[in-house]
Chains A and B, each alone.
Chain A
Amino acid sequence: METALELKNISYVFPNRKGITDISLQVKRGEIYMLYGGHNAGKTLLLQILTGTVLPQTGAIKLFGNSDYLQEKRRVGYVPQNPYAIGKMSAMDMLHYFALSYGVLQKNFDKELDLNFTEKKAVCHLPLYVQKKINLGIALLGKPDFILLDDPFQGLDTQECESLLSIISSLNEERNMTILLTGQDYESASRIVKKYGILADGKLKAELTPHKIDEECKRCIKIRTPQVERAITVIQNDFPQYEVLGDDFIRVFCPVSYSSRINAKLVSSGIEVCEIGITGMNPQTFLSALAGGESIDASDYSK
């Protein structure tokens, strides 16, 4: 699949030593990629680098295969975190203003975004969700191939998130648009996102696919024992779904309430059990822990 965006060792560090360091990632054409991270993780700064507002101190960016990525700007639409409105302009006026600035005539996406352009009310007085959709409409001027959405679900209720998700999804499917979004709302994003980049303290901690996250988050019983082979022979009849990780680590996929039964069985068979416990977690908690730099139980979750 063709690469839409390629970042190689991108760094931008502010004098107070905050910023992003050594970020490398790839977003494939037609992919929905989410940069997941907490506050000050560097998500917005990375988007600002992509928009050209900030030039990276080191590293290289390729947009649609062009290393002079600023030349490809017209193919990118950007929706900032906080919606913008100009004075008391209505949605139609704002759209017309930006269309004139970009030299674009077509504005045929009102049905796609479910926007009412006959609304005379100033954009700044409209609900946050509508403001976000208008900003998305402006980003869609000029039929871009790539959309950057900075924390699109922030401040929206469940129904609004649903609606925005279906809009993003249809843009991706029907127009084959590549979408890069940032945020912390896994629950909403997980329905459309095809790849996650976990940002923490300005570094890319991990890149995960939804499948990988599901795998990693599976609730299971972990057993640490020096006698792995013997332990397997003891438990495999009752618990056939297991996985051996390393020389002394087994994960057993079964109801977690069976942990005491497994422990009793192993001990009664004379197998030394160094550690037994429940592992796996909710994906949101898992990602938050990864992004927050908190110690999550299984060290093998990280990239």
Chain B
Amino acid sequence: MLQIIQSELYRIRKNRLFFLCLLLSTFFMFAYALGFHYETVKTAGLTGDIASLNGFTEFLFADYSLVIPITIFQQIYVTEDYQKGVHEILFMKGVSRFDFFFGKLIALWITTLFYLMFSFFMAYIFILSIWIKQPYIEFSLAGICGYLILQMLCFVGYSSFLWLLSCFIPYRNAVLVVSFFLLGTLYLYLTKISTALDLEYSLYKYWIVGLSDQMEISPSMSQLPAILITIAAYILFPTGAAYWIYQKADLRKHERR
């Protein structure tokens, strides 16, 4: 499996789309930094806000800007194997389905983590450059680190969910449409239902992207178990279900389209 992880990471390193996604996310981070500065510090006279890295860190996940590039990359990257018939060539040489499945998934998790760390790095570079003359910047290192770790776990869970979708629907265009359809509709309906039912813990937070979207730097201790269970469920169940599907799939049907 280590060989597959290595080779997949090599392949991702050679993938132009991945670098395009990093570029896109860099642009988003720049836009976030400017937007946050404008909304808080620049209008401080009106609202009384101060330069807060905690606030900026939460702001990074306020919409789907970090989610969209990784969704596009992962679904295109995974379905490429079906299109090109890569499975057949690898299995021919004795690579097992188990090794290929988990090797590729782990490589995708590593890539997702790298993508997030790169985006965070760019975001902090941009915001700190803008705030270079600020006399005081509020931040809580432990809070930010804990929050970013939870966010990274959320994205690993989301990556597993996308992997499951691509096993269900191994066709590039179809899986991309379904992924974005889910992002749109789940936000719309889960928030509406939660509001209508006046739920204390929104249903939207049971959707991994929603959890990432609505998470706060200092979650109340009562919410922490629910958050951790949701993340664990999104990492474990889609991975198990996807493996079950993948093991039984007749790959010949999907290849060379």
Chain A residues with CB under 8 Å of chain B are 48, 51-54, 70, 73-74, 76-78, 80, 82, 84-89, 93, 96-98, 100-103, 138, 141-142
Contacts and interface: CB of A to CB of B under 8 A. Distances in A.
Contact of A102 (B84, B87, B95, B256): B95
B7 A87 contact: no
Given A77-B92, A84-B85, A98-B90, 9 more contacts: A51-B88, A51-B92, A73-B94, A78-B88, A82-B256, A88-B16, A97-B10, A102-B3, A138-B89
Given A97-B7, A100-B7, A89 B14 contact: yes
A52 B92 contact: yes
Contacts, number: 76
Contact of B91 (A52, A86, A89, A98): A52
A100 B3 contact: yes
9 cross-chain pairs, A with B, having the tightest CB-CB distances, nearest first: A100-B7, A73-B94, A101-B7, A51-B92, A78-B92, A103-B3, A74-B94, A84-B84, A100-B6
A132 B181 CA distance: 40
Contacts of A87: 11, 14-17, 80
Given A101-B4, A102-B3, A53 B84 contact: no
Interface in B128-177: none
Given A89-B14, A100-B10, A102-B95, A80 B88 contact: yes
Contacts of B90: 98, 101
B84 A101 contact: no
Interface of B: 3-4, 6-7, 10-11, 14-17, 80, 84-95, 251-252, 256
Contacts of A53: 87-88, 91-92, 251-252
Given A48-B252, A51-B91, A53-B252, A86 B85 contact: no
A103 B10 CA distance: 13
27 contacts: A51-B91, A53-B91, A53-B92, A53-B251, A74-B93, A74-B94, A76-B92, A77-B92, A78-B92, A80-B85, A80-B88, A80-B89, A84-B85, A86-B11, A86-B80, A86-B84, A87-B16, A93-B14, A97-B7, A100-B3, A100-B10, A101-B3, A101-B4, A101-B7, A101-B90, A101-B93, A142-B93
Contacts of A141: 93
Which residue of A93, A102, A141 has the most chain B CB atoms within 10 A of its CB atom? A102
A116 to B, nearest CB: 18
A78 to B, nearest CB: 4
Contacts of A73: 92-94
A104 B7 CA distance: 11
B10 A96 contact: yes
